[in-house]
Amino acid sequence: MQPTKNGHKVFDLNEPVPAIKKSEKLTNEQRKQLYFHMIQAREFDLAMQRLNRQGKAFGGVYSQKGNEATAVGSAFALGPKDILFPMHRDIGSHFVFKAETKQLMLNHLAKDGSQMRGTDGTGHYADVEKRIYGNVSHLGAMIPVAAGFVMASKMRNEPIVAMTYIGDGGAQTGEFHEGVNFASVQKLPLIVIIENNQYAYSSPNSVEFAAERLSDRAIGYGCYGYTIDGTDVELVFDECQKAVEQARNTGIPALIETMTMRMRGHAEHDDAGYVPKETFEYWEQRDPIKRYEDFLQSEGIYTQSDIAEIKASISKEMKDAIDYALEIPYPPAEEGKKLVFVS
Ligand SMILES: Cc1ncc(C[n+]2csc(CCOP(=O)(O)OP(=O)(O)O)c2C)c(N)n1
């Protein structure tokens, strides 16, 4: 990787794609689950893109492509009582936490019955039973919220680990710093995944920060820090699981920078024309799903026809969810006020 004159990083297309780092902790059944959830994320994404083109999904439609291994592998490392605070490219983690496709579709289409009562078309909902606390829009603001959640659990003697996510852009906010510093000082078992997908909107890493690695900041906070390949789902799982158990046992938080690429524009309105073509080509070779499919086949876990069958069944799951959600009306406008005013 070297900087170019315009400050964009150029990725070497001749660099070989590394083999998946096989985890010693996963069973083949769990591997199948990881793959299943990554395909759910990919198919949900494709469904949302189509709905956006058809004028049926409004507002920002944020692609998940490229982030599936990070979102799924990290959430899969959490225990049964742990808490998830996902961001806008982490639909895969919602699926790991058993979010239902039909409910997610209602939420994303802002229909009646959506968990934000139609006031939102992305993932700002909370599902207390499922332990999912969806994203706070103001970048960085969710880190102190997640830290506070862990602190409250600690004070109640109900220890949990929380995992939250932030982009490379969001990691440059004041609240990122305050939240990670607070969690480190208070010994709160919080895992912060920094999804370094190279761009924040149209700003490349080179105009966002001067550090070599975002995880290098950990030494300044007194927490653990790792930078890992975010396109290898087993590696992401392994490293996150280590960090989760370390945090559970010591109370020391971790910053995990996952290297990925945002494979589309910031949202569907943005054609990402400012990204060099070679950058997309480099990361397309590292597509998390393609890499894992090659691995699963080489391990004899799935054949090509198994893979085709799984994709067809998940694509049907998405189609059924769309048909269901499109039939449902938008909620009455007064519903929106209920989340704002106490009557
Ligand atoms: C404090 C704040 N500033 C600006 C925005 C508007 N905004 C939303 S997403 C985004 C880019 C985020 O980039 P990054 O954190 O790298 O995440 P990515 O979308 O690339 O995954 C911006 C500027 C915001 N939501 N909050």
CATH code, domain carrying 128: 3.40.50.970
Query: Separation of 325 CA from ligand 1 center, angstroms?
Result: 28
Query: Separation of 88 CA from ligand 1 center, angstroms?
Result: 10
Per-residue pLDDT of 183-233, as tens digits, reads 999 999 999 999 999 999 999 999 999 999 999 999 999 999 999 999 999
> Which residue's C-alpha comes closest to atom 17 of ligand 1?
167
Which of 120, 165, 203, 266 best tests ligand 1's pocket when mutated (most atoms within 8 Å of CB)? Answer: 266
- Domain-located, residue 6: no
Per-residue pLDDT of 296-316, as tens digits, reads 999 999 999 999 999 999 999
pLDDT at 341 over 80: no
CA end-to-end span of the chain, whole Å? 57
- Domain-located, residue 7: no
**Any atom of ligand 1 within 6 Å of the Cβ of 192:** no
- Over pLDDT 70: what percentage of the chain? 97
**Any atom of ligand 1 within 6 Å of the Cβ of 201:** yes
Q: How confident is the model at residue 5 (pLDDT cuts 50, 70, 90)?
A: very low
- Domain-located, residue 8: no
Residue 207 domain boundaries: 29-338
pTM of the model: 0.96
- Domain-located, residue 13: no
Overall average pLDDT of the 47-68 stretch: 95
pLDDT at 2 over 90: no
> Cα separation of 174 and 141, whole Å?
9
**Any atom of ligand 1 within 6 Å of the Cβ of 168:** yes
Per-residue pLDDT of 75-127, as tens digits, reads 999 999 999 999 999 999 999 999 999 999 999 999 999 998 888 888 899 99
pLDDT at 31 over 70: yes
- Domain-located, residue 11: no
- Domain-located, residue 10: no
**Any atom of ligand 1 within 6 Å of the Cβ of 262:** yes
Within the chain, strands assigned E span 2-3, 9-10, 83-85, 126-127, 132-133, 162-167, 190-196, 199-200, 203-204, 224-229, 254-259
> Cα separation of 242 and 253, whole Å?
12
Per-residue pLDDT of 123-143, as tens digits, reads 899 999 999 999 999 999 999
pLDDT at 342 over 80: no
What is the number of domains present in the chain? 1
> Cα separation of 61 and 57, whole Å?
8
- Over pLDDT 90: what percentage of the chain? 90
Q: Which of 5, 63, 71 is nearest to 240 (CA)?
A: 71
- Domain-located, residue 5: no
pLDDT at 8 over 50: yes
Query: Separation of 201 CA from ligand 1 center, angstroms?
Result: 7
- Domain-located, residue 334: yes
DSSP sequence for 256-291: EEEE----S-SSTT---TTS-HHHHHHHHTT-HHHH
Rounded mean pLDDT of the chain?
95
The residue assigned the tokens 């198994």 is 306
Query: Separation of 14 CA from ligand 1 center, angstroms?
Result: 32
Q: Which atom of ligand 1 is nearest to the CA of 62?
A: 19
**Any atom of ligand 1 within 6 Å of the Cβ of 86:** no
